[in-house]
Amino acid sequence: MTSVAVIVVAAFLGSVAGRVLAHRATDTTKKYYVRKVTHYVLAAICVVALALLWRPFAGQLGLVLGLMTAGLAFAMQEVIGAIAGWFNVTSGAIYRIGDRVQLGGIRGDVIDITPMRTKLMEIGSGTDQDTWVRGRQYTGRIVAVSNKATLTDPVFNYSGSFEFIWEELTVPIAYRDNWREAERILTDEAEKVSVATDAEAAISSMTRHYPIAKTDVEPRVYVRATDNYLELTARFVVPVRTAHTVKNQITQEVLVRLEAAGIPIASQTQDLTVRVEPEKG
């Protein structure tokens, strides 16, 4: 009965003290946190009071502490995992502030790393249907991801040691059209936007720390035959943070030059023109 009385009194004091202290707060957010902190403090005091009442169980202190430790470990497994993930990030140099990463399925720039969470300034994606921004630009949302994700999910770092990515632009050309001229146009435009020299220097720098094989970073155009048309794919290296802008630029230039050369973009669709003869009479 004494233990029940202690719990009831603590709950009553927590409710009263929370309301009194929250009444002095200036805004709704502060009132919320004042009430939460008050409840946590009184709950801790209640636990201490109950521990004093249960001193007869001191002879089984080892068993009690073991059960409490097991319970806490189970209840706080997410917290423990997050802290372990933080050590993983800091000791393994997986990412740092300013890096562009994909963590826990979220893409964005790292703006803060705490022992519990990593905060990302989210960017859009052309493949993720949950984002309304289809380009690799900021959506305006800040996403907090538990550091535990670094232990359970793959972590993609787009700018840690190598701040470049390979981009591709694919253009379908009909078999009957001048695909060699289209190939030349794609090659010219890919060479204009490519930063192969900078990328090659970055790779050379990375070889001091990682066993990276020789990689071709020069722009290339690949031709693939399909059942409907030829696919010409330009592959080139660009800075990771300007990839979306560069792809927009090269796409526009290629379309203008193809149109000037009289080379239309191929498609599996067909245009049908229906003419209705005027009625005689």
**pLDDT class of 92 with cuts at 50, 70, 90:** confident
Q: Is residue 233 part of a domain?
A: yes
Q: Is residue 84 part of a domain?
A: no
Cα gap 77→192, rounded to integer Å: 52
Whether 233 and 168 have beta carbons less than 8 Å apart is answered as yes
Q: How large is the average pLDDT for residues 58-83? A: 68
Report the pLDDT averaged over residues 200-216: 81
Q: Is the domain of 176 the same as that of 222? A: yes
> Is residue 85 a contact partner of residue 145, using CB atoms and an 8 Å limit?
no
Average pLDDT of the chain, as a whole number: 82
276 lies in a domain?
no
| 2, pLDDT greater than 70 | no
Query: Residue 132 in contact with residue 143, Cβ under 8 Å?
Result: no
In this structure, is residue 281 part of a structural domain? no
Q: Is the pLDDT of residue 238 over 70?
A: yes
Report the number of distinct structural domains present in the chain: 3
Are 171 and 138 within one domain? no
Measure the CA angle with vertex 135, ends 133 and 139; round to 5°: 40
CA angle, residues 17, 18, 24, in degrees to nearest 5 = 95
- As a whole number of angstroms, the distance between CA 14 and CA 7 comes to 10
Higher pLDDT, 113 or 73: 113
Together in a domain, 7 and 60: yes
Report the C-alpha dihedral over residues 236, 237, 240, 242, rounded to 10 degrees. -60
Could you tell me the residue range of the domain that residue 118 belongs to?
93-157
133 in any annotated domain: yes
Determine, yes or no, domain membership for 179.
yes
Kindly state whether residues 255 and 170 are assigned to the same domain.
Answer: yes
